[in-house]
Chain A
Amino acid sequence: MMARVIVERAFDQPASFADIQAREDQFAWCLEQHRVKFIRSYFSKDRRRMICEYEAPDAETVREVQRTASMPFERIWTAEAFEWE
C-alpha cells in the first residue's frame, strides 16, 4: 500500500541534474530508511522546473526526507495515476 508521491521543484537559476542527484545520493541512506524509492524525474528544458516521482508510505515521509536532505521543493503531494488502457 505504498503511495505515489510527486515532488515539484523550482529553481531561480538553471539547476544541474547531476548536482541534484549527488545531493540526493548523499542522503540515500535516509531515503532507504524511510522506504522512499525514487522512480523518475522530469526536468524542464530551461532547467528551472523539475518534477520527481517517488514511491513512499505517504507524502509526509517524502517531505521529511526532503527537509532532512535540505532539498528544495515547492509542493509535495500524493498522486493517483491514470493511464490509458
Chain B
Amino acid sequence: MGEPPWVSVVAALQVQVLGPLAVLQNGEAARLPQSKKTRGLLAYLAITGRAHRRDRLCSLLWDVADDPRGALRWSLSKIRPLVDSGTKRCLRADRETVQLDLDDGSLDWRSVRRELASGVALIPSGRLLELASVFRGELLEGLDLLDFDEFTAWCAAEREHARKLQGQILQTLVERLEETPTEALPHARELVRIDPLNEEARARLIRLLALAGRRNEAQAQYESAARMLKELGAGPGGPLLAAWREVNSAAAMTREDAAPVSLSTPAPKESPVLKHRSEGLLVGRQDERARLVSLLDDAAHGSLKIFLLKGESGVGKTRLLTELSDQARRRGCTVFEATAYEAEAGRPYGPWIDALRRLPEEVIANADRPALAPLLPELGESDADSHSRDRLFGAVVDVIAARATEEEPVLLIFDDLHWCDDATAELLHYVARMSLARPVLIVLGARDGELIDNESAMRVLRSFRRDGLIDEHLLLPLTEQEVAVLVQEMDSAADPAEVFALSGGNALLARELAQAALRKGESVPRSLKELVGDRLARLAPEAGDVLRWSAVLGPTFDVSRLTELVSLELDPLMTALTELERHALLESSSTATGTYAFHHALVHRVVYSEISEPRRKLMHLRIARLLEDRNDPDGTIALELAHHASVGGDAAMAARACVVAGNRCLRVFANAEAYTHARRGLRLVEELPDPERLKLRIELEQVSLGAHWPKDAETEARRIEALAEHALDAGCAEHARLGFTLVSYLRWYEGAVGEAHRASLRAEFASRGADDEDRVIGIAEAGRCLVILERDLAQAEALLLEARALTERSGRSAWAVFDGIGLLRLHAGALEEAKGAFEQAWALARKDGNRLQEFMALEHLVTVCIHRREEDEACDYARELAIIGEKLREGSERPLGRAMLALCRYRKDDVDYRRALDDALQALREVDAKQRLAFALTQAATIESERGELESAAARAREAADLGQVLQQPSETALARAVLLRIARERGDLPAMREQASELMKLRGYANHVRAVVERELAASGLSLGSDPSELGVQ
C-alpha cells in the first residue's frame, strides 16, 4: 500500500486547538481577544463546525443578567477580524444562527480525527511522528470556563477524545521504536504524562529508561507511580512491578565490556541487559577528580581513607563516583559499588548485596560462602555455625582484605548514603574499623540536606569524624562557563545562559534542559517535572504547602507575606522553611532580611506549574485581596497587586492596580515601567463591562501619555476624544472631563501631560449648584475665558470639547461653545475653521436675540477676515458690527464698532476715515478697553507702516505693545512688536531692529496666525526664530 502524499499546502487560516488556542493568518500568529468567553466561543464554533442558534450560544457562555445577545454580538465582532479576510468570510452570522466555516482553512483537531478514522495501525511511522507533534498540550489548554457547566462538559468530552487519540498515536510509536530507546523515550514520557494511571505505559517507560541507562529516572518513575496507586488504594500491580524488578535485576549486571556476570540469581525470565552505566559526559570537576585519584593513591600506601562527597540532588556526585570507579577498574582495583534506594530502605544490607553480586566470580570464590549465604543465597545454604552476624561481617571483611593490595587497593563506593538502611550502615562501620591498616578507599556519596534524616548513617559519620577518619567535600553547582561547555558538548540548540539561569548550575537539570526538545508553549521539559516532583514528594505536608504558596508569591518573596497565607503558626512555619532550605529548594537572602528565594528558577517554575490552574488562580486572588486591603499611599505594592490580580482573574482589581503602579512609576520618572503598566492595564480592561471599563481605560490612557508621547498625537487625540464621548454617554462625567483634558494636552502640549495633574476643574466651580444648561454654559465660558487670556489652552480645549459634547447630547446649542472653539481655532491658526465657528456663534446669537453675543461674534469675524486679508468681507462684517455697537449703551462696543469700520475703510484707502479712527481709538482709551484698543492700534500701525507713515505707525505700535504687556497677552504684544520691527527695518535703524527682534524672541504662547506674521518680519530682517539678534547687520 502506497503512502498517501503528505501535505504541504498551508491554509491561509489555521485554527489550532490541540494545546492553547491559536489562530494563524498566513503563518503568523494573530492576537487573540482577551475575553475568555470570546475565545471559548471561537473554539466552540471551530470545533463543532456547524451552525448554531444565537440563543443556544448565549446560554452556553453568558448569564441572563449580562445581556447575552449584546455580549454575543460583541464577541463576534472580535472574532470576525481574526477569521475573515478581504475576499473570504468564514464567520457567517444572521439574525438567527452563527457558523464558522473552516472548509478553506485548517483545524488541527479535525485533521487528526480524519486521519485516525480508519485506525492508527495503517499510518506510517513518519506520519505518526508528524501527528504526535501536532499536539502542543491539552485541547484548549488553559481555556476553562468553570462557571458554565455545559461548555465545561463539552470541553471535557473533547479533551478526553483528544487524549485518547493522542494516546493511540504515542502507544503505536513507542511500540515501533522500542529497539531505539532514546527515540522512543519522548513518546513514552508523553504517554505517561497524559495517562498517568496507565500501568502498562508506565512499565514501558521504566524499561526504556533502564535501557537508556537512566536508572535514577526509572526509579523515580516507579516510585511516583507506586505512590499514585497507593493513594488510589491500590499497590503497584503486575506490569509495573514486573518492570521494576527487571530493571533492578539488570542493574546488578555489569557493563557489556566487563567480565560476564555470574552471580545473578535467580535470573529473570525477561531481562533487558543494561548497556550503559553512565551518560559519558563529565564537564569540569577537575579538582574533585584529581582529589579522588590522589586519595586512591594514598590508600595504596596501606591505610584506610574515607571520603564523603556531599551535594544536592543532581549536582553530579554519582557521575564523579562513576568516573572514579572506572579509573579504579582500569588500574585493576577491585571495586565494591552500590547505591542505596529510598524504595529499598527496608531491605537490609541491600547495597552490600548488590555490591557483592557485582564482583567477579573469582573474588567470591575463596570467600566464606556459608557465612555469606544469608546475603547471597545463591552461594548455598548456611549452616548453624556460620549463621551469625559476626561471621557474616567477618566474611565481608575477609573478601575485601583478600583483594586489598598496595598495587591495587580496594575501592568501596556507596552512593546515596542518606537512604541506607541500619544494617548496611553497621556493616560499613565494621568494615571501616577492620580495614584501618589496609589499602582501602571508601567513598560515600550523599545528599547533604537529607543525611540528617538518616540516623544510622549519621551515627556512622559521627564516629568517622570523631576518629578523624573522614574527609568531606561539598560539591558545588557548575559554573556558567561549565554549563556552556556542557550545552556545547551535547550539541544542543538551547541557550547556555538560559540553561544556567534555569538550572542554577545543577548538572542534571542542565543536562535535561539541554537535551529536551522544548515543546512550543511548554516551559519545562516533562522529564524535569518528574525529577523535581520526586524531590517535592519527599517533603512533609506543611513544607509542601509552604513551598506552593512560595511559588505563587514568586521566585523571590518576603516571608511576612507567607505568614498571612499559610495556616501555620510561626514555629511550624520556620520549621517548614528550614526543611525547604535543607532540601536546597529555598534559600534565604543574605542581603535582604526576611526575603527568601527559590534555589533554582527551574524548581520554582515546576512547583508553580504543578499547581492546577484553578487552584493557582484562587491562590493569586487571595494574595491580591490581602494586598488590596493594605494601606498603600505610595503605590509600592501596586505592582505586585496588579500581577496577582491579573493572574487570579480579577481584571478590574488588576487594572486598578496598574493605574496606581503606573502613576507611582511616573512620580519617580520610571517612564518605561509606567508605560508597561499602562499597556498591561489596557489589555485587562477589555474584559470588564462598562462603565468601569471606560473609566479605567481613561485613567490608563493618562498614565500611558504621561510615560510615552505618541508619534501621531492627532490620531491619539481623536481616539481618546471618542472614548471621552462614550464615557459621557455612560454617565461618567468626571472621567469624560479627564478624557477631554487628555485630548487637549495632546493637541496643545508637546509631552507636558504632567500638567494635567495640576489642572483644576474650573468648570466645576462655575457650575456648582447649577442646572444642566447653566452647567454647560459655565463649562463653555470657562474654556472661552482661558482662550481669551491665552492661558492654559489645553484646559480650554478640554472644557470646550466637553461642553460641545454635552450640548450635542442635549440638543441645545450654547453660544459660548461656538465662540470659544472659534477663538481656539483662531489661536491655532486654523482660520477657516475659526471663521466657521464664529459664523455659527453669530447665527445663534441672532436667533437668541442677544446683541452682546452677536457683537462679539462679529468682532471675531472681522478679526479673522483681516488676518485672511479678505478686505471686502471684513468691511461687510464691520458694518454690521458698528450698527450693533451703536445699540449697546455701556462698555466699549460702540467705540470698537466704529474703530473696526474705520480700520476696514482705512485699509481700502479711504483716508477720510483716519479721523473717525482716531476718535474711536480715543473713546476706547477713555472706556479703558486695553485689549480692543491694542488690536485696533496694531492694525492701524500695520496699515500706516505699509504706506510709509512710519512716525504715526511707530507711535501706535508702541502704545499697543505697552498695552499688550500690561494685559500679559502675548499675541497683542507680538503683533505690535512685529510692526515695530518692520518700521525699524524701513528706517534702517539697526539698534531698534535688534531690540525689537530680541523682544520678539522672548515672547511665548502667542497665536499661530501671529507667529506667521512674526516669522515673516524676522525673515525680512534677515533673522529667524531662534537666531541671535545681536548678529543682525554683522557682515
By a beta-carbon cutoff of 8 Å, the part of chain A in contact with chain B is 1, 3, 5, 26-30, 33-35, 57-61, 63-64, 67-68, 73-78
Contacts and interface: CB of A to CB of B under 8 A. Distances in A.
A29 B765 contact: yes
A74 to B, nearest CB: 7
23 contacts: A26-B765, A28-B765, A29-B766, A30-B781, A30-B782, A30-B785, A33-B762, A33-B791, A34-B785, A34-B789, A35-B968, A58-B930, A58-B931, A58-B967, A59-B927, A60-B891, A60-B930, A61-B930, A61-B931, A63-B891, A63-B892, A67-B852, A76-B891
B928 interface: yes
Interface string B877-893: 00000000000001110
A83 to B, nearest CB: 21
A33 B787 CA distance: 11
Nearest to A68: B781
B363 interface: no
B791 A78 contact: no
B932 interface: yes
Contacts of B95: none
Given A28-B765, A29-B766, A74-B890, A60 B932 contact: yes
Contacts of B501: none
B930 A57 contact: yes
B782 A29 contact: yes
A1 B765 contact: no
- Can you list the 7 inter-chain pairs with the closest CB atoms, starting with the nearest? A60-B929, A59-B928, A78-B928, A58-B930, A58-B928, A29-B762, A29-B765
B194 interface: no
Contact of A33 (B769, B786, B930): B786
Contacts of A28: 765
A60 B892 CA distance: 7
A64 B890 CA distance: 12
B282 interface: no
A73 B889 CA distance: 12
A51 B22 CA distance: 77
A59 B791 CA distance: 20
Nearest to B929: A60
Contacts of A63: 891-892, 929
B977 to A, nearest CB: 18
A16 B928 CA distance: 30
Interface centre among B762, B927, B928 (most CB of A within 10 A): B928
Interface in B598-638: none
Given A29-B762, A30-B766, A59-B927, A1 B785 contact: no
A68 to B, nearest CB: 5
Contacts of A29: 760, 762, 765-766, 782
A56 to B, nearest CB: 9
A28 B789 CA distance: 16
Interface string B887-918: 00011100000000000000000000000000
A54 to B, nearest CB: 12
Contact of B785 (A33, A35, A59): A33
B788 interface: yes
A29 B766 CA distance: 8
Contacts of A61: 930-931, 967
Interface string B956-968: 0000000000111
A35 B789 CA distance: 10
B785 A68 contact: yes
Given A1-B966, A29-B765, A67-B852, A60 B785 contact: no
Nearest to A34: B789
A27 B968 CA distance: 21
Contacts of B785: 30, 33-34, 68
A23 to B, nearest CB: 11
Contacts of B788: 64
A3 B788 CA distance: 19
Contacts of B847: none
B711 interface: no
Nearest to B792: A33
B795 to A, nearest CB: 10
Contacts of A27: 765-766
Contacts of B966: 1, 57-58
Interface in B764-789: 765-766, 768-769, 781-782, 785-786, 788-789
A27 B768 CA distance: 10
Contacts of B967: 57-58, 61
Interface in B926-952: 927-932
Contacts of B968: 35, 57
A43 B760 CA distance: 33
Choose among A33, A35, A75 the residue with the greatest number of B CB atoms under 10 Å from its CB.
Answer: A33
A24 to B, nearest CB: 12
